[in-house]
Structure 1
Amino acid sequence: PIYTKYFTLSWLKQWVLAINDLGVNIIFFGESLIGFYMINQNLISLSVFMTIIQASNMVINPIGWYMEMYNNVQSSSVVVDGYLKEVQKRKHQKKLLNEPIQSFLLKDLVFKRKEKTIFDHFTLQLQKGKKYLVVGESGCGKSTLLGLLSGTIPHPHIYANNIPTNALEHSSIAKQLTYLRQSPDLLPGTLEENITLWQTADSNKLNRVLDQVHLNSLKSRLHESVQEDSLEISGGELQRISLARGLYNIKDWLFLDEAFSALDEENAKQIEYDILKNYKGSIISISHKLFDENIMLFDEVIEFTKQGVNVLSSLEYLQKRKNSLHPIKNQISNNESVLPDKR
C-alpha cells in the first residue's frame, strides 16, 4: 500500500538525521577528551579550555544546524517524491469513462457506517432516463446512496456501465452528473456567475431557468456580488439559486439531496413538478416533502426502512403511503366485522 511505502521511506529520513546528531556528538566528546587530557598534562588551564569550548561551539553549532536542516530537506524530498510517484502511478492505473453512463449498478452491496448496516447484500440497477425517488427517516443512509453512486464514497461493488466506479477516474463520472445538496454555498463572484459558473451568459436560457425556479425577483440583481455585506439572500432563495445553477449547467444525471427542503410547500411542489415533467435525463431525488401528484411522475421509489431497503413502483408506494396515513379508516373498510350488524 502507498502508506506503507511512505512510512518505509520516512525511516530513511530518521536514519540520516540520527547520523547527523551522531557526528555533532562525536565532535563534542572528542573536544572534551582532548581538553581534559591537556588540562591533566598542565598544558592549559580549565578557564582556557572553557573558552576554547565556547569558541568552538560558536563555529560547530551553526554547522551542525545547517547540516541538520540540509539533511532534513534532502531526506524529506525522498519521502515526498516517493509518495507523489506512487500517487501518480495509482492515478494512471484508473480508467477514463469516455461513453455516456447508461446505468449504475449496486451489486450485492454490503455497506456499514459506524457499525450500522446501511446495505446488506443489496442489489439495484438505475437506468438512464428514469426518475427515482428516495425516501426514509433522517440518518438512514439516503445521502450515502448518492455518495456511493457519485463516487465520492469509493466502493468496489458500485458499477457505471458495468465498470467498477473505484477503477474509474472520478472526474469522468462527475462530469456526467449534477449533484445538488441540501445546504448549497454561494461562490465568489456575482449572482449571475453563481448560476452560469462563469460561462458567457445565454440571456434567454438564464431567464428561462430563473422562471423555472421562481427567481424572477433576482433578475434585476444578477450583477450584485456575493462579497457585498448588503447582499440579502434568504435560505429559500439560496436553494433556488443552487437549483438554477444545476438546471443551467444540466447534465445527463441529476442528483437532488433534499434540494427543496428550504422552500415553502407551494414552491417546492411546483418547482419539483416542473423539473420532473420537463427534464429528459435521469433523476435520483431524496425528499421529505412528498406530494402525490409529483410521486406519480417517478418511475420507482427507493424506500429506506428499519427492516432494509425496498424498491417499489410509484403506485405501490402511493398505496402504502395511503394505508400508513389512514390506518384506522383502511382497517374499517377492509374488515366489515369491525362494526356490529345493527339489523
Structure 2
Amino acid sequence: MKQAVRQHKLLLTVTLLFSIITSAAGVLIALVLQKVIDAALQGDLGLFREILLLSLVYLLLLGVFGFIYSLSSKALIRNLTISLRERVFRGVFRQNAEAFSASNTADYLSALTNDIKLLEDHYIQPMLQVLQNIVVFAASLVVLLYLSPLVTAILVGCMVLMFAIPSLFGKALQTKQSAVSSQMSIFTSRLKDLLSGYEVIKSYAMGRYAEQTFKEENHRAANIRFAADRMFALNESVSHTLAILTQFAVVFIAAYLIITGNLSAGSLVALVQLSGGFVGPVLVIMENLPKIQGIKPVLERIDLLAEVNNEPITEGLTPVFNNSLEARNLQFKYTQGKPVIKDISLSLEKGKKYALVGPSGCGKSTLVKLLTGYYDSFDGIIELDGTDLKRLDREQLQQMVSTIHQNVYMFDSDIRHNICLHEEFPDEMLDRALQTSGIHKFLQHTPNGLLSPVGENGLQLSGGQRQRIAVARALIRNKPLLVLDEGTSAIDMQTAYEIESRLLKLEELTLITITHNMNEELLGLYDQIIYMEDGIIAEMGSLKELLERGDKFRSFYTLEKEEVPAAG
C-alpha cells in the first residue's frame, strides 16, 4: 500500500492541500453567520451589504476549491486502486509455480476484486475522510476558543467521552472484517468451482445440489458480512447518540450565557454551527477509525501478495542450447508428501527425439517441468550446455521451450490470437503452422476463419480443435525444445500420427514426448525411450533394444497394446 501511495504522492499532496483549504474555509462560515446576525440585530445596513458581498465571493471560491478537492480525491482513489490491482497481479504472476499452486485461483480473484473493493470502501475513503475532518476539528477548535473558552472546554470533555466508549469496538470490528474477507474468498472459490463444473453438474443431474450448495454459501457469506455490519451499526449509533448529547449541551450552555449577558445572539448561532463542525468531524473520525483498524488483515494480505514486486528481478545468464540438457542426482517433492522424482540422472542431446512413457502418476510431467525450469526448488543439478539452470535468466529459458499440453487452455478471444498469443508472425509461418497442425481442415467451416471467437476456454470448439490450436501455438514459435505432453491425445489417430511424425522429422528440434500411445511405428522413430516407474527411470533405450531386453518396458508396452482395443 505504501508503494502505491508513494507512486501518486503528487496527486496525494494536491488532494491534502485542497482538503485543508476547503475544510478550514467551511469552518469560517460560522463567523460569517455571526457577523450577519449581529449586523441584522444592530440594524446596520451598510455592514450587512458588505458582509453579503464578501459572502458571495467567499462561497464562489469555496465551491471552486471544493470541486478541485472532490475531483482530485476521486482521481487519487482511482489511481490507488489501479496501482494496487496491478501490484497484486504482478506479484501473483511473479511467484514461482509452486507458490502459485499453493493457493486456489479463487483466492487471487477474491484479492483482486473483493479485497481491493474493501480497501477502497474501508481504508482509502475513510482515511481521506479522517484527514479532512481532522482539519475541520482543528479549525473549529480555534474559532470556538475565540468565541467562548467555557463552551470549548465543555465540548472537549464530551469529546473525550465520545472517543473512549466506541474505541471498545475496534478489536471486535477488526476480527469481523477479517472474517468477511476470508469468507468472501471461500465464496468466490465455491462459486468458481460450481461454474467451472457446469458440464459435470448437468451430466449427473446435480442441479439441485449445486443450487443448495450455492444457497448455503451465499447465506453464510451474507450472514458473516451482516455480523460485521451489526457491529458497525452499534458503533455508529453510540457515536450519534453522544454527538447529539454534546450539541444539546452546547445549546443550553450558550443560551444560559446569553441570558446572563455574556454572549451575543450571533455568537450563539456561530457556536451552534461550530458545535456541529466540532462534533461532526469527531463523529466521522470515530466511525472511520474502526473501519481502518478492521481492514488491517485485508491490507496485510494485499501487501503479502504484492510483495514480490519489492524484490528486484535478477537477470541471469543467457541460456544457450547447442549440445545437451543434463540432470544429475535429481530429486523433487511437492510442498507436502513423499518425493515424486528420486535420484534421476540423464542426458538429452540437442536435435534428438525422446519418448517419455510409464504408468500414470510415475512423475513424467514433473520431470519435464523440472528439466524446462518450471520448478526451481529441487535437489541435484540440471545443466543446459554445462550451465546450472538456476543461474540462467528464467524468462529467456522459458522462451526456448514450447509445450503442447494435454489440457489446453484457450483465452476468450479468436483463433488467431490463441495461436499467436499477442505476438506477430509472418503469414507464411502462420500458414505453415495451420497446415502442420491440421487447423486448415476445420477453419473453412468456421464463421470468420481465424477471427472466429473460441468462447470461454474454447467452449465453442471441440476437444480436437482446441488440441490443434495448441499444436499450432507451439509450432509457430519454432523453439529449439518442444514438449508434447499427451499433446495429440484428443486428435483422431491419423491426424495425431501425421503431426507427430512431422515433428520427428525436424532435425534441429529437440522433442520430448510424454505419451501413452504405444504405436510401434511412431515409437520406433524416437532416438530413445525413457521408461519411468514410481519417480525413477527404470529403463532407457531404443524401442528395439527395450523390446529385446524383455524387462519392465516390454511388460508395460504389451499391457498397453492389449488395452487399446478395449479402450476404443
- SS at the partner of 2:313? helix
What percent identity do the matched residue pairs reach? Answer: 25
Q: Cα–Cα, structure 1 residues 318 and 194, in superposed 2: closer, same or farther, change >3 Å?
A: farther
Q: Aligned residue for 2:194?
A: none
Return the letter of the residue paired with 1:106.
Answer: A
User: Given the two structures, how large is their TM-score scaled by the length of structure 2?
Assistant: 0.44
* 2:487 is equivalent to residue 259 of structure 1: yes
Structure with greater strand share of residues: 1
> Which of 335, 349, 357 does residue 135 from structure 1 map onto?
357
Return the letter of the residue paired with 2:499.
Answer: I
Deviates more, 1:83-92 or 1:243-252: 83-92
Q: Deviations over 1:111-144 (max 9, x none)?
A: 2244233222222222222211110111221111
> Which of 197, 209, 223 does residue 450 from structure 2 map onto?
223
Q: Aligned residue for 1:146?
A: 368
Q: Cα–Cα, structure 1 residues 259 and 163, in superposed 2: closer, same or farther, change >3 Å?
A: same
- SS at the partner of 1:242? helix
Q: Deviations over 1:265-305 (max 9, x none)?
A: 22222221121113521111100112122212222222111
Q: Aligned residue for 2:478?
A: 250
Q: Deviations over 1:126-164 (max 9, x none)?
A: 222221111011122111112212222223533333433
Rounded Cα–Cα distance in structure 1 between residues aligned with 2:516 and 2:365? 13
Q: Aligned residue for 2:326?
A: 105
Measure how far apart 1:214 and its partner are: 2.8
* Contact persistence 2:363–2:534 (CA under 8 A): no
Equivalent residues in 2 for 1:195-206 (5 A)?
A: 195-200=419-424, 202-206=426-430
Measure how far apart 1:258 and its partner are: 0.5
- SS at the partner of 2:540? strand
Q: Cα–Cα, structure 1 residues 279 and 52, in superposed 2: closer, same or farther, change >3 Å?
A: same
Return the letter of the residue paired with 2:466.
Answer: L
Q: Aligned residue for 1:91?
A: 313
Deviates more, 1:48-57 or 1:281-290: 48-57
Equivalent residues in 2 for 1:68-87 (5 A)?
A: 87=309
- SS at the partner of 2:482? strand
Measure how far apart 1:326 and its partner are: 6.1
> Which protein has the larger Cα radius of gyration, Structure 1 or Structure 2?
2
Equivalent residues in 2 for 1:304-343 (5 A)?
A: 304-306=532-534, 308-314=536-542, 315-319=544-548, 320=550, 321-322=553-554
In the alignment, structure 2 segments of 5+ residues that lack a partner are: 1-129, 131-155, 163-240, 249-275, 560-568
* Contact persistence 1:148–1:155 (CA under 8 A): no
Q: Deviations over 1:28-66 (max 9, x none)?
A: 79548xxxxxxxxxxxxxx99982288876442323455
* 2:529 is equivalent to residue 301 of structure 1: yes
Q: Cα–Cα, structure 1 residues 272 and 58, in superposed 2: closer, same or farther, change >3 Å?
A: same
Rounded Cα–Cα distance in structure 2 between residues aligned with 1:273 and 1:316? 21
Q: Deviations over 1:76-124 (max 9, x none)?
A: 99998899677544522x5142534643332212222442332222222
Equivalent residues in 2 for 1:254-293 (5 A)?
A: 254-293=482-521
Return the letter of the residue paired with 2:401.
Answer: L
Return the letter of the residue paired with 1:289.
Answer: N
- SS at the partner of 2:362? coil
* Contact persistence 1:253–1:281 (CA under 8 A): yes
- SS at the partner of 1:262? coil
* Contact persistence 2:436–2:499 (CA under 8 A): yes
- SS at the partner of 1:116? coil
Return the letter of the residue paired with 1:144.
Answer: T
* Contact persistence 1:177–1:251 (CA under 8 A): yes
* 2:246 is equivalent to residue 52 of structure 1: yes
> Which of 469, 489, 508 does residue 241 from structure 1 map onto?
469
Rounded Cα–Cα distance in structure 2 between residues aligned with 1:228 and 1:259? 21
Rounded Cα–Cα distance in structure 1 between residues aligned with 2:521 and 2:511? 16
Rounded Cα–Cα distance in structure 1 between residues aligned with 2:473 and 2:452? 16
User: Given the two structures, how large is their TM-score scaled by the length of structure 1?
Assistant: 0.68
Measure how far apart 1:259 and its partner are: 0.4
Q: Cα–Cα, structure 1 residues 102 and 326, in superposed 2: closer, same or farther, change >3 Å?
A: closer
Measure how far apart 1:171 and its partner are: 0.6
Return the letter of the residue paired with 1:117.
Answer: P
Rounded Cα–Cα distance in structure 2 between residues aligned with 1:48 and 1:307? 70
Q: Aligned residue for 1:13?
A: none
Q: Deviations over 1:244-265 (max 9, x none)?
A: 1211122011011110111222
> Which of 415, 420, 427 does residue 191 from structure 1 map onto?
415
Rounded Cα–Cα distance in structure 1 between residues aligned with 2:283 and 2:345? 67
- SS at the partner of 2:333? strand
Q: Aligned residue for 2:436?
A: 212
Return the letter of the residue paired with 2:546.
Answer: Y
Greater relative contact order structure (CA < 8 Å, 6+ sep): 1
- SS at the partner of 2:376? coil
Rounded Cα–Cα distance in structure 1 between residues aligned with 2:327 and 2:453? 40
CA RMSD of aligned residues (A): 4.4
- SS at the partner of 1:312? strand
The number of aligned residues is 293
Q: Cα–Cα, structure 1 residues 163 and 81, in superposed 2: closer, same or farther, change >3 Å?
A: farther
Rounded Cα–Cα distance in structure 2 between residues aligned with 1:49 and 1:239? 67
Return the letter of the residue paired with 2:329.
Answer: D
Measure how far apart 1:310 and its partner are: 2.6
Q: Cα–Cα, structure 1 residues 105 and 27, in superposed 2: closer, same or farther, change >3 Å?
A: farther
In the alignment, structure 1 segments of 5+ residues that lack a partner are: 1-19, 21-25, 33-46, 328-343
Q: Deviations over 1:189-217 (max 9, x none)?
A: 33233323354553433333333233332
Rounded Cα–Cα distance in structure 1 between residues aligned with 2:157 and 2:392? 56
Return the letter of the residue paired with 1:121.
Answer: D
Q: Cα–Cα, structure 1 residues 49 and 233, in superposed 2: closer, same or farther, change >3 Å?
A: closer
